[in-house]
Structure 1
């Protein structure tokens, strides 16, 4: 089992939003990945993007520049 550590998590209302974010994030070189929704949070979609917390600024910039839809951004230990 992987040790728990602080992560930045982006939630989405729909799977379509999550897939659009993943495609754009890959093109822009983000290192994170799509994972199942952690139990500690709630969202309309069962998928989230997980990234190192140091990448939060890059995530926020990507969301704004590409007008991507999302629900919330959390930092939590998972």
Structure 2
């Protein structure tokens, strides 16, 4: 059976902003961690903040408070060797 996982990320332009945002999410009670930005996105500083999809609306709220420079929010689905990435429009209301 192939390995499956689903998660969301926000990709950053700056390593320091990625670290700051991850720390802020964790302080706000949202489990998050730093990961390498998936090669399919291949933009920015190479770091992203990963969290579960149910955290995304809260992460967007927090992002809007700080307005750090980002590449974007993305939803990632990995099914075996296949990776699907969809951009999440963070201007919309959930």
Shift of 1:64: 1.0
Q: Secondary structure in 1 aligned to 2:23?
A: helix
Structure 1: 5+ residue runs without aligned partners? none
Q: Select the structure that is richer in strand.
A: 2
Relative to the length of structure 1, the TM-score reads 0.84
Q: Does 1:45 align with 2:45?
A: yes
Structure 2: 5+ residue runs without aligned partners? 79-94
* Greater gyration radius: 2
Aligned residues: 76
Shift of 1:39: 1.6
Distance 1:29 1:4 in 2: 26
Aligned alpha-carbon RMSD (Å): 1.4
